[in-house]
Amino acid sequence: MDVVIVGAGFAGMYMLHSCRQAGLSAIVYERGGGVGGTWYWNRYPGARCDVPSLEYSYQFSEDLQQEWEWTEKYATQPEILRYAEHVADRFDLKRDIRFDALVTSITYDETTNLWTTTLKDGEQTTSRFIVAAVGCLSSANRPRFTGDETFSGRIVHTGEWPHEGVDFTGKRVAVIGTGSSGIQAIPIIAEQCDHLTVFQRTASFTIPAHNAPLDPQYVRSVKSDYSTFRAKNMLTRAALGGDTPTGTSSASEVSDEELDRVLSERWAKGGLLFLGGFNDSMVNKASNDRVANWVRDKISSIVRDPQTAELLQPETVIGCKRLVVDSGYYETFNRPNVSLVDLSERPIERFTPHGIVVDGAEHPVDIVVLATGFDAMTGSLLKLGITGRNGVSLADAWNAGPVNYLGLTVHGFPNFFMITGPGSPSVLTNVLVSIQHHVEWITSTISHLDAHGHHKIEATKDAQDSWVAHVNGVASMTLFPTCNSWYLGANIPGKPRIFMPLPGFPDYVSRVSRVTENHYDGFALTP
Ligand code: N01
């Protein structure tokens, strides 16, 4: 093979299509039984994208983007999975995808300049290039709790949701975790179950989605000039929401009335662009405090029980942990069948056969939903068992953190590419846009190598060191490093604390373009 691609989510599918267009032979190995990546696994109730559907979609084919009809502003998981299936069928992708194919190792051979990919069943394939399209949030974090093996009920993880669904009728349910997954699932589970106990270690800031069916007239107007709509989005920091520009003033400088006007407007509109009301919310603590306090007051105005309302008010900087978008989350705590248990001071003590004990009190439970997130950005890459030049494993190379060049490559790992890897804007963007950028760069780079008789591309150590310094420098100008988020790896015990994604999509794109135009500056190309 020219290219072995790992993962058949949105990144792997487009990578395969792009390879074919460039005349490269390629095969995709996918551990799941179907396409869709994160949307294949995350089937929990309420799972839905928080990027508007007209943006969270491919733009490489005008016909595709014209013919596909999204039904809601924010698409549900089943609808996104149907879209992924549609794309796979429309571009005849499945004939080059091997499903239920778990990659156990990928090893570089310096003498042949080839990579060998080994599957769990022992099958091996050699290829000139490897593209890891494994997703940023695809390695479930399943913390163990004392006594959980004695629990007589069922334990499920949002990121590995049973395909047949879970019936909560008449059950006492625990949800552990209040990030995006928990916050999406909690309102739906509360409606279905007998009693829901939410176990919260850290409160999250969440903004209402105000989801609704898509207005056909709006869809027609976007589709009448889709490319301009896409181009505007790509010029924003998060490659998203070009129609709602970021405010031009500082939240620390406006009057109380102006602050309230801007934030009320953004709250009423809903969604992730809430934080763009002012131009400095993520770089100026005083500004962030004012925005955060406004949301804290909002929580108090929605949640009737004052003690619960207080527990639901996050203490962190708003936006430090990824902002969540919800449908009826805070309102759910006004239901008589929902209670909140605070773990911030006292963690879960143990599981018993019939419940969960915190601070000496047992909460009776039949089903436990772990909404405990992922070993983000590096977890799935490290699970591939990658070994590069001189027998050095990726795990060793990343011992102190995921060093990389442009978030696309790693020194010591020639002809190996990552899509939305650490060091790229990835999770701080509409990831479909980042995926497109990376896929097209990787394909054109391979074509460039072939056209110029180069067999090998590898980031130099110097270029990698400068890139890592650049990413750290940008992150340190923001408020992102001020809390324990998965962006920093802080949710996984023992993981190096490094801010992994790079804020700012447009600047990233220009930097990558400059590297390419400058004869792949920072890379060694070997004839
Ligand atoms: O995971 P998370 P997620 N005991 O890591 C808690 C994307 N996404 O699956 O904050 C008790 O955010 C943990 O507590 P703490 C999106 O990018 C998108 O919800 O570490 N609690 C936290 O509350 C998102 O950010 C959508 O103190 C424990 C929670 O579990 C990312 O995926 C939907 C614990 C984990 O929250 C991850 O979201 C869903 C323990 N031992 C996800 N361990 C969209 O809408 C962990 N927690 C597109």
Q: Assign a CATH topology to domain 140-204+322-373.
A: FAD/NAD(P)-binding domain (3.50.50)
Q: Is the CB of 176 under 6 A from ligand 1?
A: yes
Confidence of residue 420 (pLDDT cuts 50, 70, 90): very high
User: Is any atom of ligand 1 closer than 6 Å to the C-beta of 342?
Assistant: no
Strands across the sheet containing 26-29: 97-98, 26-29, 3-6, 129-132, 416-418
Single-letter amino acid code for the residue at 255: S
**What is the predicted pLDDT for the residue at 26?**
98
Question: What pLDDT score was predicted for residue 231?
Answer: 97
Q: What is the pLDDT of residue 286?
A: 98
Strands 172-176 and 195-200: parallel
Give pLDDT tens digits for 450-472.
Answer: 999 999 999 999 999 999 999 99
Query: Mind spelling out the 3-state secondary structure of 462-516?
Result: HHHHHHHHHHHHHHHCCCHHHCCCHHHCCCCCCCCCCCCCCCCHHHHHHHHHHHH
Domain 3-139+375-526, classified CATH 3.50.50.60, yes or no? yes
Closest atom of ligand 1 to CA, residue 137: 32
298 CA to centre of ligand 1 in angstroms: 22
Residue nearest to atom 3 of ligand 1 (CA): 373
**CA pair distance 74, 76, nearest whole angstrom:** 7
Strand order in the sheet with 338-342: 154-157, 367-370, 172-176, 195-200, 338-342
Q: pLDDT tens, 303-335? A: 999 999 999 999 999 999 999 999 999 999 999
- Strand-strand pairing, 367-370 and 154-157: parallel
Rounded to the nearest angstrom, the distance between the alpha carbon of 312 and the centre of ligand 1 is 15
Q: Whose CA is nearest to atom 41 of ligand 1?
A: 143
Residue 10 near ligand 1, beta carbon < 6 Å: no
Q: Whose CA is nearest to atom 37 of ligand 1?
A: 373
* Closest CA relative to residue 233, chosen from 273, 198, 289: 273
Q: Residue 382 Cα, ligand 1 centroid: separation in angstroms?
A: 20
Average the pLDDT over 118-132 and give the result: 98
* DSSP H or E segment with residue 220: helix 216-224
pLDDT band at 100 (very low <50, low <70, confident <90, very high): very high
Q: Using an 8 Å Cβ cutoff, are 74 and 49 in contact?
A: yes
Residue of 10, 79, 201 with the most ligand 1 atoms within 8 Å of its CB, for mutation: 201
Please report, as a single letter, which amino acid is at residue 72. Answer: E
In this structure, the residue with its CA closest to atom 43 of ligand 1 is 372
Q: What is the mean pLDDT of residues 135-155?
A: 98
Residue 180 CB–ligand 1 contact under 6 Å: yes
Confidence of residue 213 (pLDDT cuts 50, 70, 90): very high
What's the CA-to-centroid distance between 304 and ligand 1, angstroms? 25
Q: Cα separation of 359 and 350, whole Å? A: 10
Verdict on whether the full-model pTM lies above 0.95: yes
Is 202 close to ligand 1, i.e. is its CB under 6 Å away? yes
Centre of ligand 1 to C-alpha 437, Å, is 27
CA distance 262 to 298: 14
Domain segments of the chain as ranges: 3-139+375-526, 140-204+322-373, 244-320
Please provide the average confidence, as pLDDT, over all residues in the chain: 98
pLDDT score recorded for residue 331: 98
Query: 491 CB under 6 A from ligand 1?
Result: yes
**pLDDT value at residue 127:** 98
3-139+375-526 and 140-204+322-373, same CATH topology: yes
Establish whether residue 430 lines the binding site of ligand 1, counting it when its CB lies within 6 angstroms of any ligand atom: no
pLDDT digits (tens, 9 = 90+) for 224-273: 999 999 999 999 999 999 999 999 999 999 999 999 999 999 999 999 99
For residue 301, what pLDDT band results from cuts at 50, 70 and 90?
A: very high
322 CB near ligand 1 (under 6 Å): yes
Residue 501 Cβ < 6 Å to ligand 1: no
Return the ligand 1 atom nearest residue 343 CA: 11
What integer is the mean pLDDT of 59-67? 97
pLDDT value of residue 340: 98
pLDDT in tens, 2-23: 999 999 999 999 999 999 999 9
pLDDT tens digits along 500-519: 999 999 999 999 999 999 99
Helix (H, G, I), strand (E, B) or coil at 10: helix
Contact assessment for residue 325 and residue 207, using Cβ atoms and an 8 Å cutoff: yes
